[in-house]
Structure 1
């Protein structure tokens, strides 16, 4: 039996395309995505963007769900969620960027696949439990027999079993199914709910009316038996829910066109009057706003109690859907209340229930001894089978106390458990096993109290917090059960990196269902100024106490010291990472806050530094083939933000490098150390740009000749019609590459945006504008990734490929770079860029000239070599004629004359050391003469009379 169950599980996982790597996060369905429209937006606004992505099968995901109810605070609207299919070659990053750029979309997510939390019983590994495998020992452990003396429930209370198919003919299940007599099997949707002949449940994965048994997946039959097996029928076992019924809902595919349908089944169950919904499936990580919306809808809009398995990970982690808000997370214990060997433990667990040697219905196949599939049973283990015990108990509580809401039923179950983490065997998991082990009798008989923090609002609202940040935390507290006298909430920090400056909230006496908040006097926190490890999760504890001995705790977490900083001093907010990337540190766009301009959505889907000396010696952390990212750079020091900095209102510092090529093996790496200094100003005239200055040091024993350095920028400027009709262009006089949307109207709802990068200092400018949609086989195509050889082409092709996207517009990228002719071993050179954005091209050009002035007047004077003493411009002052002498060995130069607003007024090339120009015709005043050479830029101020 043991080997058979192991084999079956393997077949299940193999059939669904899962692998051992799933433990790192849930797999997804290739090409399947969902989006949620912002309130008030219509799907028509997305049509062009979806066409750009090649989207098909676009349809409203939850057509018949209830709208939000103002009498149910926190209820959600699922009607704006749409599902669609795109070619499997289109990445999540691409889908998310194109759709979010329309301004009409709240979120975009892949279709996650969650797997059953099944763990076969292993008698040889746990020989002390073999005698338990033939009995329902756990019913006595959780006081089920005494509970049934209080109530046995009723057939009107329905538990939604969202799982694999169920053996509908099993002797202990067939009479427990909640049949839909309003829609008999006749080929007609008699009850008008949109599902034809959903008489005995529904198969959400394959979209048919057969939620029954599948040879590959018996998990649903196992789970249904625990919660709902027929009681008092003289055969088999007793289900925890006793007289309560269950609704079988299959969520796993058994057809080539099927898909995992966990959240669809939850919404279906909620819409079909399931007062309790069981989810014995999930995966570590992979938080989904779509899944959270579905849980909120079921629990708040539809008032269903949601119960989920906490997972079989034997780890302290977030496990979904169990770790979502409004879900009871159930972990497992043995017959002696010791934590099950493989059960998840965490602060997010609500309670535990027996999860070892759980005897239940199997419904697999006829046995060699003559037994029938409709009469077989098996003992199994895992949190999958602890959860339906709690679901069955929730059903009994709902019947006994019909006026309790779903949140109150969950509170009653939490507050009537038997504490088990104080047992010596559970010492290692103290405070990580919820309130205790399920006690159904107490849940049905004891008046209980539970006040709960129902919302936590951090100000400023950020995904992560930096060293030195100060935070205000407002909470809303609701008393869910019996009145509590003298309630107080005390906030403490379990992290050494957060100090509590004000941590007391006195609520006083609270009646049942009363709510209070501390918005007028919030908690105040301070993040440590130093010593915080990267990406630290800090935990805060709410300790709730009452005058009459009431006591409970809750935890809330926040992330500190991320491996990126955001320069947000002006209108252009830019995320900088520790390893050379811009906007995000990952291709999925989850680590970082992107690049925004004047409150826009993200306008840069991917950006970062590229260094190269040949088609094979290329360093970057950008996309490559197969949807992966290269990992050439590693950080030598974490990126930090200075506010204010020595020379700007905000500055950032980062230090990283690639690997040093081994002797005789120059492939793949360049061997350069990089020091990044970034600058942002809040003063008028400097609000539309951020300066990025890279000091590049040759770490190898060989001269790099030439060395190319550049920024790859996959801009996504939003368009009025939601399409990706962008174009890329090059302004040679300013060394400025930029991207814009065709047909921009600059309306209040969608202001126009021009975005670009300007080379401020370095060698000879290079630009390469890319049509991202160019088909495979083109001179450069991103359809099959972005190879090192292609990256080298973008840097080494000069300025010949300077435009893309015209005349009709397309999805475009640009690489703005420079060619440094030589860099000797141990030598350093400076390359500087300005990232810019503005509402019009003229304003972008003005910002470019302002950036030039800011760099020349604020930053270059601090560099010893920036203002060469042998760079001469005379006579000064001048009536117009001007003699210019370049420094010795400066070489060919591009010469620019700028007025003091930063506007370029004259530009030309010079090949000799000395030349003449004339400023006649310009307005009298102060001008800046700038010479851009191969390896440096020099400037001189000149007064025109």
Structure 2
């Protein structure tokens, strides 16, 4: 059996069924009028009119005062990136794109696969186009969706398709190419079939990329239902920032893979992003959590171009939102916080500190135990005496004044009678 590389996110949408069953996805035809946004994902689709929840949790104006990802190239190794989407047209470096077609791969009809052009800018699946949008989609009228790093540049590297014809060897080739093309960040939203440990070529390619200062971000995988824990590749290689999926409550999404290799979590439920031909669709999976973090990595690298890959990763891990000290196998160091990653950055670190990042409530001071009357009780008693005495004095003075007045009036009436 051939060693395939499957999508990191087996989603709940219609696209997910296509990916899981290995059926080909027939491209949709565009209507004359601009399509309206539909919950059913078709290509093209209408624009998502609001601001997706995954972006509502971020103060984008504050974030972008720190960095917008300018001059950072992010390689998206996936199913290609369709530049017909207006929000991606200016974000994708077409000349640096590349397609890595597995040798001898054939379709169900026995004919060689048609993987489109060599620049990696055809995407009949839509997976890579969604990933790229989460990272670097440009702002556009009529939608609140935008990439986290809207001035970063996408290098489209097509290495897989709907049938999962990509292999660990072609993934290794794609990684090496991305490094040579100047990528500062590499996003890999896929893992090996059955979480099998691949040949050394993939591990070596990842290690070489890290050695050259490239941040490698990978999806943790979506076989976590029922508490399933297992390593996935390339996410579990040392130095790779493995990303789990979180929901609106900052908790692990039910499908998200767990394990000690998980670095951080990021939104991965109902993720809005760009699709081929134009418009947006919603999808689920760690495949879309990884580019969320890759976008943050691009922002950090743009602001701190001299930081090492390890320092960028540690910064993202250190500033993630977490409720316990240390690492958690469900969400790693916590759910990524883009603003904190860009503002709590006074110095680079090599590894996260387990005790930092938590809300440190001051411990209450224990009350002292006293036998008999405490000073506070004595002060309260004396205060009461003073208050009561003052009241009695005032009442006495007032009563005396009334008595004197009445006596004076009686004397005056007696004189008048006389």
Residues 398, 233 of structure 1: alpha-carbon distance in 2 compared, 3 angstrom cutoff: farther
1:157, CA displacement in angstroms?
0.7
Residues 331, 6 of structure 1: alpha-carbon distance in 2 compared, 3 angstrom cutoff: closer
Structure 2 residue aligned with 1:432: 330
**Contact 2:317 2:333 (C-alpha < 8 Å) held by counterparts:** yes
**Contact 1:312 1:382 (C-alpha < 8 Å) held by counterparts:** yes
Structure 1 residue aligned with 2:345: 447
Structure 2 residue aligned with 1:151: 67
3-state DSSP of counterpart to 2:216: strand
Aligned residue among 141, 145, 148 for 1:240: 148
Aligned residue among 232, 245, 263 for 1:350: 263
1:291, CA displacement in angstroms?
1.5
Residues 247, 397 of structure 1: alpha-carbon distance in 2 compared, 3 angstrom cutoff: same
**Contact 2:80 2:128 (C-alpha < 8 Å) held by counterparts:** yes
1:282, CA displacement in angstroms?
0.5
3-state DSSP of counterpart to 1:297: helix
Distance (whole Å) between structure 1 residues aligned to residue 148 and residue 218 of structure 2: 16
Residue 292 in structure 1 maps to residue 203 in structure 2: yes
CA RMSD of aligned residues (A): 3.4
**Contact 2:123 2:129 (C-alpha < 8 Å) held by counterparts:** no
Aligned residue among 249, 264, 270 for 2:179: 270
Pairwise mapping of residues 51-130 of structure 1 onto structure 2 (< 5 A)?
A: none
* Structure 2: gaps (5+ residues): 1-10, 25-37, 41-47, 104-116, 359-418
Distance (whole Å) between structure 2 residues aligned to residue 3 and residue 152 of structure 1: 31
3-state DSSP of counterpart to 1:330: strand
3-state DSSP of counterpart to 1:277: strand
3-state DSSP of counterpart to 1:322: coil
Distance (whole Å) between structure 2 residues aligned to residue 430 and residue 349 of structure 1: 8
Bigger RCO (CA 8 Å, 6+ sep): 2
**Contact 2:318 2:357 (C-alpha < 8 Å) held by counterparts:** no
Distance (whole Å) between structure 1 residues aligned to residue 332 and residue 148 of structure 2: 21
Q: How many residues align?
A: 308
Distance (whole Å) between structure 2 residues aligned to residue 551 and residue 357 of structure 1: 27
- Higher relative strand content: 1
1:262, CA displacement in angstroms?
1.7
Distance (whole Å) between structure 2 residues aligned to residue 550 and residue 416 of structure 1: 8
Residue 222 in structure 1 maps to residue 130 in structure 2: yes
Pairwise mapping of residues 539-550 of structure 1 onto structure 2 (< 5 A)?
A: none
Structure 1 residue aligned with 2:111: none
**Contact 2:18 2:162 (C-alpha < 8 Å) held by counterparts:** no
Residues 254, 203 of structure 1: alpha-carbon distance in 2 compared, 3 angstrom cutoff: farther
Residues 143, 306 of structure 1: alpha-carbon distance in 2 compared, 3 angstrom cutoff: farther
Pairwise mapping of residues 108-187 of structure 1 onto structure 2 (< 5 A)?
A: 135-154=51-70, 156-179=71-94
Distance (whole Å) between structure 1 residues aligned to residue 101 and residue 186 of structure 2: 17
3-state DSSP of counterpart to 1:303: coil
**Contact 1:251 1:262 (C-alpha < 8 Å) held by counterparts:** yes
1:133, CA displacement in angstroms?
10
Report Cα offsets for 1:794-829 as digits up to 9, x if no partner: xxxxxxxxxxxxxxxxxxxxxxxxxxxxxxxxxxxx
**Contact 1:206 1:254 (C-alpha < 8 Å) held by counterparts:** no
Distance (whole Å) between structure 1 residues aligned to residue 201 and residue 53 of structure 2: 39
1:341, CA displacement in angstroms?
1.4
1:325, CA displacement in angstroms?
1.0
Distance (whole Å) between structure 1 residues aligned to residue 77 and residue 258 of structure 2: 23
Report Cα offsets for 1:117-139 as digits up to 9, x if no partner: xxxx999xxxxxxxx99641111
Structure 2 residue aligned with 1:185: none
**Contact 2:322 2:357 (C-alpha < 8 Å) held by counterparts:** no
Residues 6, 550 of structure 1: alpha-carbon distance in 2 compared, 3 angstrom cutoff: closer
Once structures 1 and 2 are overlaid, which stretch shifts more, 217-226 or 139-148?
139-148
Aligned residue among 232, 255, 280 for 1:377: 280
- Higher relative helix content: 2
Distance (whole Å) between structure 2 residues aligned to residue 439 and residue 242 of structure 1: 17
Pairwise mapping of residues 578-727 of structure 1 onto structure 2 (< 5 A)?
A: none
Pairwise mapping of residues 875-886 of structure 1 onto structure 2 (< 5 A)?
A: none
Distance (whole Å) between structure 1 residues aligned to residue 80 and residue 331 of structure 2: 30
**Contact 1:161 1:248 (C-alpha < 8 Å) held by counterparts:** yes
Structure 1 residue aligned with 2:216: 306
3-state DSSP of counterpart to 2:101: coil
Residues 5, 448 of structure 1: alpha-carbon distance in 2 compared, 3 angstrom cutoff: same
1:140, CA displacement in angstroms?
2.8
1:233, CA displacement in angstroms?
5.9
3-state DSSP of counterpart to 1:240: coil
**Contact 2:75 2:185 (C-alpha < 8 Å) held by counterparts:** yes
Aligned residue among 225, 237, 240 for 1:327: 240
TM-score by length of structure 1 reads 0.30
Structure 1 residue aligned with 2:15: 5
Distance (whole Å) between structure 1 residues aligned to residue 253 and residue 72 of structure 2: 30
Runs of 4+ in structure 1 off by over 4 angstroms are 232-236, 257-260, 549-552
